[in-house]
Amino acid sequence: MRTQSSFEFPVSLIKHYLYCPRIPYFVLVLGFKERTTELMINGREKHSKVLKKMKSNGWNVNAFLKSEKYNIYGYVDAFRKEENGYAVMELKDTNYKKRILKIHLYQAAAYGLLVEENFGRVYKLIVKYNDKEICKPFTRGIKNYVVSIINKIHRIHEIGLVSIKIDKSKCYNCGFRNRCKEI
């Protein structure tokens, strides 16, 4: 079941929600912005170079898409039509670690929803790391899970409640950690 809200949010909040459910609250309810780091700037430059190469290999790259069904939007790194449907790729400027795959896979799945609504059936999700490429089928289970996350984020915006559930091991690398201590 999807939220009937007219409020839209960027797909990147799904990644943030899975990292820590408090981040969408800080962004949507309190209006905080994530700080831009040197790593983020360098990652964008590298990202741009990889996308240029992918475009020359037949991928649609950096496409801005919106979903009226789920009220989400974002720039899909890369997608292309293949024999079985569309493949959607999310690029990450980091090495593969099993513990972060879930976050990136469901971000890719949300982009899969955008591609599916705008172009047609998505059958494969790809998360490409510096050292490894992970391919997963775009299953009903993955779709249902990412839709449940979308609905939770809409609910955070509508109700304005902050999650009390946090994983303190993630706080050190969080751009919102100083604000979080205030709650």
Closest CA to 124 of 136, 111, 110: 136
Predicted confidence (pLDDT) at residue 37 exceeds the cutoff of 70: no
**Residue 39 in domain:** yes
- Find the mean pLDDT for residues 51-62: 91
Predicted confidence (pLDDT) at residue 171 exceeds the cutoff of 90: no
**Residue 2 in domain:** no
Q: What is the pLDDT of residue 132?
A: 94
**Residue 3 in domain:** no
**Residue 1 in domain:** no
**Residue 4 in domain:** no
**Residue 85 in domain:** yes
Paired strand residues for 133:
128
**Residue 173 in domain:** yes
Per-residue 3-state assignment (H helix, E strand, C coil) for the chain: CCCCCCCCEECHHHHHHHHCCCHHHHHHHCCCCCCCCHHHHHHHHHHHHHHHHHHHCCCEEEEEEEECCCCEEEEEEEEEEECCEEEEEEECCCCCCHHHHHHHHHHHHHHHHHHHHHCCCEEEEEEECCCCEEEEECCHHHHHHHHHHHHHHHHHHHHCCCCCCCCHHHHHHCCCHHHHCCC
Where residue 3 falls among pLDDT bands split at 50, 70, 90?
very low
Q: What is the pLDDT of residue 2?
A: 46
Structural domain for 130, as ranges: 9-180
**Residue 36 in domain:** yes
Number of domains comprising the chain = 1
The CATH code of the domain that includes 157 is 3.90.320.10
pTM of the model: 0.88
Q: What is the pLDDT of residue 181?
A: 63
pLDDT digits over 105-164, tens only?
A: 999 999 999 999 999 999 999 999 999 999 999 999 999 999 999 999 999 888 877 766
